[in-house]
Amino acid sequence: MWKRLKRIHTYNGWIVVFLMISGILLFLPSLRGLLAPIRVGLKQVHIGVGIVSILVLILYIPYFQKHWKRIRKQQGKRINLMTILLFIFVWSVSGIVLVFEENVSAPTAQSALFIHDIFTWVGIPIILYHSVTRLRWVQKQRRSKFPAASDSDKGSRIPLSRRGFVQMVAGTAFVIFIGPSFFKWLKQVLDDGGQSLKKVIANDRNNMNPPPQPLPGSNPPRGGGYDGNFRVYTVTEIPSYTEENWSFTIDGLVDRPVKFKWNEFVKLSRKVQVSDFHCVTGWSVRKVTYEGIPLSELLKKAGIKSKAKYVKFYSGDGVYTDSLSLDQVRNMDDVMVAMLMDGELIPSDYGGPVRLIVPKMYGYKAVKWLVRMELIDNSHLGYWQLRGYDTDAWVRK
Ligand SMILES: Nc1nc2c(c(=O)[nH]1)N[C@H]1C(S)=C(S)[C@@H](COP(=O)(O)O)O[C@H]1N2
Ligand SMILES: [Mo]
């Protein structure tokens, strides 16, 4: 029975290792491009294996009851075991909340994400250490019990020095590759708390004159101020604009190509709407009050030729693009070329002075630093679609 508990624990160990590795892969921003084609699948496997780990956790219970006395005697092992179980328990609960993210309140989802992340950051070194010491312990046991081990057992009889070497390499890799992400994450979490928009505005690289005058629905923001925090994503350097180097072009299959200067663009009539923002990687920001020009209104300024079937959106970063079909544009009245969020001119980190907002689709459609729209007759694969993301990015509801 004791042996069986150990076997369960070994299985569990592998499950945790898998969850840790897949979790890190899903988290690291630097791996987004590389992982795009398998990201959705990997996330599903991560969730599936996570559920299995809960089942394994339940398997512990009967053995626990039987062996409690024995476990209690060995204090070191007890603390170790309890720590691991606590971690798995917390990961499971927060993970389940994240799976049902759409059905829980924003603060609950955010806390779950925070807890899931912080336990990962703290848990990785603990579990690495635990597995290594455990392996050593298992090794010693085996050596004393079966001095003449069979061939198949050779793998577990690696000399300790080599084990130590592996540990060192893993530790170094951890510090080099994952350490910086940890501090970035920590900074983002500490920066949060409703202040984030002000802080991001303080770092604005843009300086647009004249500034837009917010509509009454925007100031104070009709949505009451957005809930959550944006992770700043960019595949290039963040561009910087003034009224001098900024312009907005509508061309391609249009009746009259137009190119707005900033002072003309701020005069176009705007609308206010409140919408949620969802990134396909799992985070959401709710109730953002956006003010901008409805896409269909803006397209009217240039006139759409009947041959045109798609709109292609260009970011001023020169790299990022995406597109929508004109059918989609006609069927969604909330697609907006946004200029303000929560009553403030969108700062450069968040894609300002002007970005696209497509509330019914995932965030990768929301092209930042939008400077050009081209009407085309054929579909266009955007930056992330080329890397495996769906062309239609509907947010499941
Ligand atoms: N130009 C540009 N636009 C972009 C991106 C980008 O990398 N470059 N990332 C997209 C993705 S995947 C998301 S989730 C949102 C993130 O918006 P945020 O950086 O304001 O949080 O912007 C989208 N638009
Ligand atoms: Mo995204």
Give dist(CA 70, CA 66) in Å, integer: 9
Give dist(CA 307, CA 330) in Å, integer: 15
Distance from residue 349's CA to the centre of ligand 1 (Å): 9
Distance from residue 35's CA to the centre of ligand 2 (Å): 13
Number of the ligand 1 atom closest to the C-alpha atom of 281: 14
Provide the 3-class DSSP secondary structure of residue 251.
strand
pLDDT winner (highest mean) among 3-7, 90-94, 135-139: 90-94
Of 368, 386, 389, 390, the one to substitute when testing ligand 1's pocket (max ligand atoms within 8 A of C-beta) is 368
Hey, what are 332's tokens? 């969604």
- The pLDDT of 201-228, averaged and rounded, is 94
Residue 368 CB less than 6 A away from ligand 1: yes
CA pseudo-torsion sign 358, 361, 365, 366: positive
In this prediction, residue 23 has a pLDDT band, given cuts at 50, 70 and 90, of confident
Hey, what are 183's tokens? 């501090």
Q: What is the pLDDT of residue 196?
A: 76
- The pLDDT of 52-75, averaged and rounded, is 78
User: For residue 357, what is the enclosing H or E element?
Assistant: strand 355-357
Distance from the first to the final alpha carbon of the chain: 47
Q: Which domains does the chain have, with CATH numbers?
A: 2-190 (1.20.950), 208-387 (3.90.420.10)
Distance from residue 232's CA to the centre of ligand 2 (Å): 10
In this prediction, residue 151 has a pLDDT band, given cuts at 50, 70 and 90, of very low
Give dist(CA 95, CA 282) in Å, integer: 12
Q: Is residue 302 a contact partner of residue 257, using CB atoms and an 8 Å limit?
A: yes
Flag whether pLDDT at 322 surpasses 90.
yes
Nearest Cα neighbor of 248 from 231, 267, 228, 229 is: 267
- 351-394 pLDDT, tens digit per residue, is 999 999 999 999 999 999 999 999 999 888 888 887 777 888 88
Q: Is residue 329 a contact partner of residue 296, using CB atoms and an 8 Å limit?
A: yes
Determine which of 32-41, 58-67, 132-141, 333-342 has the lowest per-residue pLDDT on average: 132-141
Around ion ligand 2, residues with a beta carbon closer than 5 Å are: 279, 363-364
Q: What is the pLDDT of residue 70?
A: 74
Residue 235 CB less than 6 A away from ligand 1: yes
- The pLDDT of 288-311, averaged and rounded, is 97
Q: What is the pLDDT of residue 135?
A: 58
Hey, what are 148's tokens? 């003449």
Distance from residue 276's CA to the centre of ligand 2 (Å): 13
| Mean predicted lDDT score pLDDT of the chain | 84
Give dist(CA 145, CA 128) in Å, integer: 26
Q: What is the pLDDT of residue 152?
A: 42
Number of the ligand 1 atom closest to the C-alpha atom of 277: 14
Residue 231 CB less than 6 A away from ligand 1: yes
Give dist(CA 139, CA 142) in Å, integer: 5
Determine which of 2-16, 308-322, 359-373 has the lowest per-residue pLDDT on average: 2-16
- 97-147 pLDDT, tens digit per residue, is 888 876 777 678 778 888 888 888 888 777 777 766 665 555 555 555 544
In this prediction, residue 79 has a pLDDT band, given cuts at 50, 70 and 90, of confident
- The pLDDT of 302-326, averaged and rounded, is 96
DSSP structural state of residue 254: B
Flag whether pLDDT at 43 surpasses 70.
yes
Output the pTM of the full model: 0.69
Hey, what are 185's tokens? 């994450």
